[in-house]
Structures are given as C-alpha cells and as structure tokens.
Structure 1
Amino acid sequence: MGRHFFKLQCKPGSEQEYVERHQAVFPDLLDAFKRVGIRSYSIFMQGNGLYAYMEADDYDYAMAELDKDPANERWQAYMKDIMLPFEGGTSLVQPVDNEVFFFDNK
C-alpha cells in the first residue's frame, strides 16, 4: 500500500464553499474510492491551500480508474468553479513525492 501527499488550492474567497461541499461528498464517489482501493483520504486546509494525504493499494491504478468513473467526473465538474490550477499549468493537483520521515506504530 502506498502513501501519497499532494497539494491543491481553491480560489481565494471560496474556502467556506469548499468546506461545505466536502460535508456532502457524493456517496457514489465514496463507493468508487473503495472500489479502486483507496484506503484513506484526508484533506487539510490552510487559507486557500489544500493538503491531501491518501493511502491506496495501487495509486496509479486508483487514479486511472477514477479518471473514467462517472461519479468522479461529476464531482470534478461540481468542484471546478472553485478550484485554482497551479501557476504555469492547468493541473489542479501538485504531487509531493519526497517523503523524508515516516513513523508507524501499528
């Protein structure tokens, strides 16, 4: 199982709307997360910066499957108006791949 961290950003002034929309995530999207092997997914907010942590059985597989999932397509369309791409591109997601420390006492 892999752990992944990535950054996103919502448009300034849309922070409360972002929070409210995530209080009612589509149930079929949550089902899709389970179906593609996502074990855990958290999003933290500071200002309009969003910091997401995901654990998935196979991250590349999960993302490829979600890209073609109708529930995810609907969610992305629903969120698009309040999201901001990163400077110099159109991507809404900026992966952070350089983990420098991990502790697990399981």
Structure 2
Amino acid sequence: MQRIALRTRLRAGAEEIYDEVHSVIPAELDADMRSAGVRSWTIWRDGRDLFHYVEVDDYAAMQERLKDSAANQAWQARINRLLEGDFDPRNTGLRVIWTMDAPDGLV
C-alpha cells in the first residue's frame, strides 16, 4: 500500500461550493476509485489550501485506471473549475521528509 499526500488550492470564492460538492461524491466515482485500489482518501481545507491524504494499492496504476472512467472525467471537470489550475493527474504527490509511524496496533 502507498500513502500519498497531495496539495491543491481553490480559486478565491470557491470554498463553500467546494465543501458542498464534496459532502457526498457520486456512487459511481466511489466505486471506480475503490476498484482502482483506493482504500482511503481524506481532504483537509485551510482557507483555500487543500491537503489530500490517499491510501492506495498503487497510485500510478490508480491514475491510469481512472483516466478512462466516465465518472472520474465528469468529477474532474466539475472540480477543476474550482481549483487554481487543473489537478495534474501525473502529480506523484508531496515528497516525504519524515514520518513517525504509530506503534503496532495503534492508529
């Protein structure tokens, strides 16, 4: 499993719309993401800055599989209009500098 961190930024004034759109994602997108190996995806927002944490079997394989997903294409079109610059699917995530893993059995 891979743990990937991503950073994106919202256009000014898009904060409420972004939060509303993400309150529930389409069931088809959820199913496509899970079948592409996504185990978990969490997004935090600080003002206009977004931080994504993804747990996925293989991030590159997930990107390849989702590029042909109609549900993902529709979602990206909807979300990218809210972002400063489109989300680049070739983004490999933030570089890990340091981590303190939880002791066995603790989360």
**TM-score, normalisation: structure 1:** 0.87
Tell me the distance in 2 between the aligned counterparts of 1:71 and 1:63.
13
Pair 1:102-2:100 in alignment = yes
Which structure 2 residues correspond to residues 78-97 of structure 1 after superposition, within 5 A? 78-85=78-85, 91-93=86-88, 95-97=93-95
RMSD between aligned alpha carbons?
Answer: 1.4
Tell me the distance in 2 between the aligned counterparts of 1:99 and 1:37.
25
Pair 1:61-2:61 in alignment = yes
Q: Is the 8 A contact 1:83 1:92 kept in 2?
A: yes
Q: What stretches of structure 1 of length at least 5 have no aligned partner?
A: 86-90
**TM-score, normalisation: structure 2:** 0.87
Give the number of the structure whose residues are more often helix, by fraction. Answer: 1
Q: Is the 8 A contact 1:10 1:50 kept in 2?
A: yes
Post-superposition offset of 1:99: 3.7
Tell me the distance in 2 between the aligned counterparts of 1:50 and 1:101.
20
Deviations 1:45-101 (A, max 9, x none): 00100000000011110011111111000001111221112xxxxx52562022411
Change (3 A) 1:4 1:99: farther
Secondary structure (helix, strand or coil) at the match of 1:17 reads helix
Q: What stretches of structure 2 of length at least 5 have no aligned partner?
A: none
Identity of aligned residues (%): 25
Q: Is the 8 A contact 2:40 2:55 kept in 1?
A: yes
